[in-house]
Structure 1
Amino acid sequence: MNFVDVPFEKIEKAKTHLNVLIVTATSIETNTLLGQMTPLPGAQHILRVLKGLQTYHIGCFGKFPIVHLQCSMGSVGINSSLPAIMDSIDLFHPKAVIMVGIAFGVDEAEQSIGDVLISKYIYPYDSKKEGPKETEHRSSPQSCHPLLLARFESIIGASRNFRVKAGPILTGETLFDNIEARNKILSAFTDSVGGEMEGAGLYAASVRKGVPWILIKGICDFGDGNKQFEKKARQSVAAANAFSFTKELFLIETSLRDLGIFPAEEIAIHLGVFDSPHDPKGVLFDIYEKEYEEYYFHRNIDDELKGIKNDLWFYGSSGVGKTSVVLKNFSMSAEFKIISLNAYIGASVNEALNFLYGELLGVAGLEVNLKELSLMEKSAIFEKIRTALIAVSANASMTIYIDEIALENPEEHKVFVQNIGALLIHCGSKDPADRPKVRFIFSSIFDPRSLISVSQRKLSERLAFFKMELWGKEELEGFIQYLSNFLKIDLSVKEGQLVVSASRGSPRYVKMLLRNYLSTNEAGESGLKSAIDVTNRMML
């Protein structure tokens, strides 16, 4: 997701209406939240504010305007939850602080990966006396704010594919991945429902500043020595469920009114300071939608795709427009589904594949247990996917776009491509009546063609490959002029050449640069160079 960087001074007058601080501690938690945030009323983008040690994201979550902060893990450290939250409370004066993320569970028999825990209170277990014969824990339970607890408990009974339980949560500086160590601490706090590392800092900072607080976390493991098993997949499910549950409350417009917190639409007039000329009418859209059609720069590849019925695989460098081409040409069909593997950047190929198989079954409306799925034979998984997709596409053909295939090394690329090849062959190997009416579209940075095994060569009949090159000078010049006409920017020849040179063939960079240029108070070549500097920092 792209953001607009704004100085803190620009939001200072309206910060009193940004009444909820949502805190995360890991990149998976942060990416999950950012994927669900939307711009404030009248704005085109999520705002990013850099202040001191912190990076803040400002936008809407559900119905409410929020400020997001990511601290480092734990409560003790230069940017851990305690100092980071205290700094943020001093800066924004929120009326509620909510930490959302991942935790460990304590009962494998009664709990499942993805179940969500609400902190009735927390047990800070690090305050203790180690005596000659026994350990004496000296901290007392610390209760979260009763109104926040009541609001979240009021929606526990809703129907969903994971369980929610309120109870005491352990918090401390230990990252548990040893069942003996976990059970030892549980023997002292027998009614605990889970544990995590940032709650003590959340409690201390919020209580010190007099701000209501609560902790909502999804179970990603059981601290039992198996943390590395499907780590990324489990953490992604846990974070997704924690934010899904939190968002349920944030979609109820009256849920936080008793704390003086109001939906964005009710206070939009006070948020007007955020309205910006960065992107008039959505000219510099990040994600193609039908309403932005006139701002889409038509290219030869759009003509080449007309009439092609094959499955498709687009590949090429990041930022060259693969996703825009797919959305422009295929997303208008009624049954268009996107599966993003963005959360699995840096994960193992098996974690990414297992998540993908689960998402394909989810598209067909099936509930999926990723652990159970990982234990199945590949042939059984493929058959389950085939039959599920046949059922869901019986009345209307479907297009499934699998985006952000970003594995780290060539060997993983090969494993991924050959598994996808095996799935496509399985789905297409039956009689036409027994094939799902589904078109698959893939996009990746790596070239998949040479990775297809000899036994899968028939895939070339089913898949059409499109290499997306870095844009050339002439095409970039046309693109820049096309956007400038809508934005009413008059760039000189030299200034246009500066943009082309800085972009290094990336249309995404061009849009970010123009957005930053519009946000400066300086026109001409000097303003353009300042915008280039800002854009280069954003791209790091």
Structure 2
Amino acid sequence: MFVVTPTEEEQLKEAAKDRGLLLEVRQSPIGDYCDFGTVGVSRLHLIKIDEGMLRHRGSAAQAIRWMDWSGARGVIAVGMAFGVDRSTQRHGDVLVSTHLLPYDPRTIKSNNEIPLSEYPKVQALPASRGLLGILDRESGRVSERAFTVHRDALLSGAAKIHSRTFRAHLLTALGSRGKPIIGGEMEGAGLLGAAEQAAWLVVKGIVDFADEERDDEFKKVRDVACRNASGLVLDAFLNDQVERSR
């Protein structure tokens, strides 16, 4: 499980302690990590990486390095994301990716000297059916939660978006790919570099809506959003053995 910010790391650890999971710090040739041991029927590790998909400690490079070293069969990005619809989503709701839309590959054209972005090569790339199934089973197991789980496509790119106009532009430009868009984040696209070797999934809590209110909002709700996403992932793996037997 990849996390980026200190809040994401802290809340995942707290969610683990709440569930009686013991974390052991271990060393590897490529860095330290936390070992959760066997959770359900899976072995889970916690790895802190840099923000975004770029740089040598970003999600792209780290996904490939850790997959090669550990032999892991899957990687999940856990933490914070933005929502896209204040009327149907709330702070703290959890977004589960069925697909990713990496929006950085684009063509910039000029219309009367105004730059216009087009996305001719962007496709909706499907997440792992196996990992998605584990989360779906957990989402259906509990009828009432303090938060709602939203399941569909996520935008993923290197930009920090503080503009409802740009958010609306992305939704309009990429909504034609046939998948409803429920939010966006910055690390998921980097996991695609390891996609041929391992399954991937993005599970993140809503801290803002990528608009001008972003800076005032996310600090107030980031703990809850990260705890909700972390708890959902851990519960999914803890209960996976029971759900499979049923």
Which TM-score bucket, shorter chain as reference? 0.7 to 0.9
In structure 2, relative to structure 1, the CA distance for the partners of 1:254 and 1:124 (3 Å cut) is same
Tell whether the 8 Å contact from 1:37 to 1:62 is kept in structure 2 after alignment. Answer: no
In structure 2, relative to structure 1, the CA distance for the partners of 1:62 and 1:52 (3 Å cut) is closer
Query: Where in structure 1 do 4 or more consecutive aligned residues deviate above 6 Å?
Result: 255-258
Deviation at 1:139, TM superposition (A): 2.1
1:58 alignment partner in structure 2: 35
Match of 1:202 among 191, 202, 217: 191
Indicate the SS of the match to 1:74.
Answer: coil
Instruction: Tell me how far apart the structure 2 counterparts of residues 181 and 90 of structure 1 sit (CA, whole Å).
Output: 37
Match of 2:230 among 211, 236, 243: 243
Instruction: Tell me how far apart the structure 1 counterparts of residues 207 and 190 of structure 2 sit (CA, whole Å).
Output: 21
Structure 2 residue ranges without an equivalent (≥5): none
In structure 2, relative to structure 1, the CA distance for the partners of 1:183 and 1:255 (3 Å cut) is farther
Counterpart code for 1:85? A
Indicate the SS of the match to 2:150.
Answer: strand
- Number of equivalent positions: 231
Indicate the SS of the match to 1:66.
Answer: strand
Task: Verify: 1:233 aligned to 2:215, yes or no.
Answer: no
In structure 2, relative to structure 1, the CA distance for the partners of 1:230 and 1:211 (3 Å cut) is same
Deviation at 1:257, TM superposition (A): 7.2
Indicate the SS of the match to 2:110.
Answer: coil
Instruction: Tell me how far apart the structure 1 counterparts of residues 70 and 30 of structure 2 sit (CA, whole Å).
Output: 15
Matched residues, percent identical?
Answer: 27
Indicate the SS of the match to 1:132.
Answer: strand
If asked which structure has higher relative contact order (CA below 8 Å, sep 6+), I would say: 2
Mean Cα displacement is larger for which, 54-63 or 112-121?
54-63
Instruction: Tell me how far apart the structure 1 counterparts of residues 100 and 235 of structure 2 sit (CA, whole Å).
Output: 23
Mean Cα displacement is larger for which, 171-180 or 45-54?
45-54
1:179 alignment partner in structure 2: 164
1:161 alignment partner in structure 2: 146
Tell whether the 8 Å contact from 2:26 to 2:32 is kept in structure 1 after alignment. Answer: yes
TM-score by length of 1: 0.40
Mean Cα displacement is larger for which, 178-187 or 87-96?
178-187
Instruction: Tell me how far apart the structure 1 counterparts of residues 129 and 242 of structure 2 sit (CA, whole Å).
Output: 13
Task: Verify: 1:212 aligned to 2:189, yes or no.
Answer: no
Cα RMSD (Å): 2.3
Tell whether the 8 Å contact from 1:36 to 1:61 is kept in structure 2 after alignment. Answer: no
Indicate the SS of the match to 1:75.
Answer: coil
Q: Which has the higher helix share?
A: 1
TM-score by length of 2: 0.86
Residue-by-residue CA offset, 1:31-78 (whole Å, 9 max, x unaligned)? 11122336xx9xx96322333553211124753431111110101111
2:9 alignment partner in structure 1: 30
Task: Verify: 1:152 aligned to 2:135, yes or no.
Answer: yes
Instruction: Tell me how far apart the structure 1 counterparts of residues 25 and 238 of structure 2 sit (CA, whole Å).
Output: 23
Tell whether the 8 Å contact from 1:61 to 1:247 is kept in structure 2 after alignment. Answer: no
Counterpart code for 1:65? R
Indicate the SS of the match to 1:247.
Answer: helix
Match of 1:93 among 59, 66, 71: 71
Residue-by-residue CA offset, 1:181-232 (whole Å, 9 max, x unaligned)? 2222121123310000000111222x13x21111111100001111222433
